[in-house]
Amino acid sequence: MFKAYSAGSHPAGAVDPFAFELLRKNRLSTEGLRSKGWDEFAAPGALHFASTVCDHAPAEVCPV
């Protein structure tokens, strides 16, 4: 089983309204969702792996 998190190099400070709409449409909980940066996941052992899913991500600075 996987737990998935979303974070970015420059968090906007708010969750994209389209993401909320899509989750609600698919009857998934939106409770507790918030904008966050990848620094929250930088602690040793916090992640097993990271993946980029955005066309713009290859041009951005990635966490070490």
Q: How confident is the model at residue 55 (pLDDT cuts 50, 70, 90)?
A: low
What integer pLDDT is reported at residue 1 of this predicted model? 76
Domain with 38, as residue range(s), is: 1-64
Encoded tokens for 60: 């951005």
* Average pLDDT for 43-50: 79
The count of structural domains within the chain is 1
Q: Residue 8: what are its φ and ψ, rounded to 5°?
A: -140, 170
Furthest-apart CA atoms within the chain: distance in Å: 35
pTM reported for the whole predicted model: 0.59
What integer pLDDT is reported at residue 5 of this predicted model? 80
**Angle value at C-alpha 14, between 61 and 5, nearest 5 degrees:** 60
